[in-house]
Amino acid sequence: MSETAHEPRNKIAHEPKSTFSQEIAAQPGGEYIRKCIQCGLCTASCMVANYTDKYRPRKMVQKILIGEREEVLSSELPWLCMTCRLCEERCQEGVSLAEIFHVVRDIAAREGHIPKVFKDTVNLVMKDGWLLKGSYTDFEQDDRTSLGLDPDLNWNEEFMKKVKARYFGKEPVEGGEQE
């Protein structure tokens, strides 16, 4: 890139845009993110990366390392990780990608970026105490009885109300629509 009398057309940034990587590294699970050497072992192992064009775990870690906070937090990509942890098992530098993406999701949710399906499911479990109350009909009850299983599932609904009050305020989970 030769220096000329006027400014170079593309400014090369020599520092990360923000301290996002330190923010991630401060959370449990994110500690070793700065060990990443961008070798691509994770992406090669990732089933999602192998079946999509948009998702590359290595690139997401790269974006975090160069400080692209807004881009990463508002993206749906961190929510595509299946937490299968094949990448974590294989990473030779000890980077825990699925945990890093969990930390990213946690921060993203707090700042109002959460895909609709996650928001809806969380609200549902807050309300009912478990996920499938609405799907547990007479048919399923009969199935259980015919198998000799107790049709009364005994789920506790009260505790989730405490969880909701403590961690999510009085309103159901707020969040922007994703995608």
Partner 1 sequence: MPAAAKPQSSRKVAARSSRTAAKPKPAAKQVAQAALVVGGGVAGMQASLDLANQGFKVYLVEKSPSIGGRMAMLDKTFPTLDCSACILTPRLSEVARHPNIKLLTYTDLEGVIGKVGNFKVRVIKRARYVKEELCAGCGACAKECPVEVPNEFDQGLGFRKAIYVGFPQSTPSTYTIDMESCIKCKRCERACERKAIDLEMEDERVEFDVGAIIIATGYRLFDVRRYYRLGYGRLPDVINAMEYERLINAAGPTQGHLIRLSDGKTPQSIGFVQCVGARDVNKGVPYCSRVCCMYGIKNAVMAKEHNPSTDVTIYYADIRAFGKGFEEFYEMARTRFGVKFLRGRAAEIIEDVRTGKLHLRAEDTETAQPQEFEHDMVVICPGIQPPDDLDKIAEKLGVAMSNDGYVDVVHRYFGPVDTKMPGIFVCGCADGPKDIPDSVTAGSAAAMKASIILAKGGAA
Partner 2 sequence: MKEFVLYTGCTAPVRLPAYEAAVKAVLDKMGIKLIDMKGANCCGAQYVESVNRHAFAAMSGRILALSEKYGHDILAICGACSGSLKWVKHELDEDWKLRDEVNALLADEGLEYTGKTQVKHLLQIFHEDIGYDAIKAAIVKPYSGIRLAAHYGCHVTRPYDIVRVDDPENPTIIDRLIEIAGGTPVDYTGKTRCCGGPMLAMDQSLAVKIGLDKIRNIRNEKADGIVTACVFCDIQLTQVQFGEGVGEKERIPVLTLPQFLGPALGISPAKLGISFNKISPSKILAGVMEV
Which residues of this protein are in contact with partner 2, per CB under 8 A?
Answer: 28, 47-48, 51-52, 76, 79-80, 82-86, 88-89, 96, 102-103, 105-106, 109-110, 114-115, 117-119, 121-122, 125, 129-132, 135-136, 140, 143-144, 147-150, 153-156, 159-160, 162-163, 166-168, 173
Which residue, 69 or 113, is less far from partner 2 as judged by CB? Answer: 113
Binding flag, residue 93, partner 1 (CB under 8 A): yes
Instruction: Map the footprint of partner 1 across residues 130-149, applying CB under 8 A.
Output: none
Smaller CB separation from partner 1, 35 or 161: 35
User: CA 109, CA 119: separation in Å to the nearest integer?
Assistant: 9
Q: What is the maximum span of the chain, computed from C-alpha positions, in angstroms?
A: 84
For the bound state, the minimum distance from the C-beta of residue 78 to partner 1, rounded and expressed in Å, comes to 17
- Residue 46 binds partner 1, judged by CB under 8 A: yes
Residue labelled with tokens 């094949």:
86
CA atoms within 13 A on the CB side of 57: 35
Cα–Cα dist 129/47, whole Å:
32
Site for partner 1 in 49-68 (CB under 8 A): 49-50, 56, 58-59
Could you give the 3-state DSSP secondary structure of residue 112? coil
Nearest CA to 105 out of 127, 74, 136, 129 is that of: 74
**Count of Cβ atoms closer than 10 Å to residue 99 Cβ:** 20
**Of the two residues 7 and 150, which places its CB atom closer to partner 2 in the complex?**
150
- Which CB atom, from 13 or from 51, has the smaller least distance to partner 2? 51
Q: Is 40 in the site for partner 1 (CB under 8 A)?
A: yes
Amino acid found at 169: G
Burial, 33: exposed, middle or buried (Cβ in 10 Å; 0-12, 13-18, 19+)?
Answer: buried
Residues binding partner 1 (CB under 8 A): 37-41, 43-46, 49-50, 56, 58-59, 89-94
